[in-house]
Chain A
Amino acid sequence: MTERGPKSIVTPLRRVRHLGAAHSGTRHFWHQRLTSVANIPLTILLVLIVVGLLGRNHAAVVQILGSTPVAIVMLLFIITSVYHMWLGMQVIIEDYVHDEMLKVVALMGNTFFSFATGLAAVFAILKLSFGL
């Protein structure tokens, strides 16, 4: 807890920013919850889309995945999920990797993996939509 008495060494500016020891406030926690709530309806829709497409041939899959409503749902799911898993894996790394060097490498790897998979999926969906 931040000391609030007159003798506190915490500056008023530091206190008013509410950032705490991690220098990021509750942003990580909040974004994890924000994306988790978004993912409830999006996951249901994704599962319905995938199950509905599994028995179909390539041409049908391309047509449905590239249609505007399906493509928008897929893009939303990918963006919220990749952000959610990026935040989640960061927590796992911070919990279990104690070596400072290894931790930085793992956190970088987590960011690279999340961005690469997210971008690849977005690219594929856009390619299907625009038919390039």
Chain B
Amino acid sequence: MAEIKSAPLKERPLSPHLQIYKPMLTMIMSIVHRITGGALYFGILLLVWWLLAAAAGPNAYATVQWFMETVIGRLILFGYTWALIHHALGGIRHLIWDLGYGFEANEREWLTIATLVGSIGLTIVLWLVGYLVMGGMR
């Protein structure tokens, strides 16, 4: 207690930030989880636009369909799908951790790789289904 009294305002060491650590897959995936969350936050505007256009009428809906057909629209939609699935799988990973499982080094690595491979794989499968089974996105 005496130390606190005798030490006035002084430059105190700060906890190290991200750049001091060696980048690891688990760490990068943790960051990506937050980034995809932030992207989905604004990405919901896409869903709202689609719903409002459908409610507004055929002309407004045609505009949305036209935009989704452009290269930029497709890329945004593809990215949105991947972000949604990646965030969902990452969330399941966090729920597993919340329950107290999967904290061993090999388990962490496995969960991380499963999230990444799963999100990319599922996104591709989904788009293939969209194109082949559902008759494509005209």
Contacts and interface: CB of A to CB of B under 8 A. Distances in A.
Contact of B138 (A36, A47, A55): A55
Interface in B84-112: 84-85, 88, 91-92, 94-95, 98
B40 A52 contact: no
Interface stretch (B7-15, B22-30, B48-56): B48-56
16 contacts: A36-B91, A40-B91, A47-B81, A47-B84, A47-B85, A54-B68, A59-B58, A81-B44, A85-B41, A88-B41, A92-B37, A117-B45, A120-B51, A121-B44, A124-B55, A125-B55
Given A36-B91, A55-B136, A62-B54, 12 more contacts: A51-B129, A51-B134, A54-B134, A62-B55, A82-B44, A85-B40, A89-B38, A120-B48, A121-B47, A121-B48, A123-B55, A128-B54
Interface of B: 34, 37-38, 40-41, 44-45, 47-48, 51-52, 54-55, 57-58, 61-62, 68, 81, 84-85, 88, 91-92, 94-95, 98, 126, 129-130, 134-138
Interface of A: 33, 36-37, 39-40, 43, 47, 51-52, 54-55, 58-59, 61-62, 65, 74, 78, 81-82, 85, 88-89, 92, 117, 120-121, 123-125, 127-128
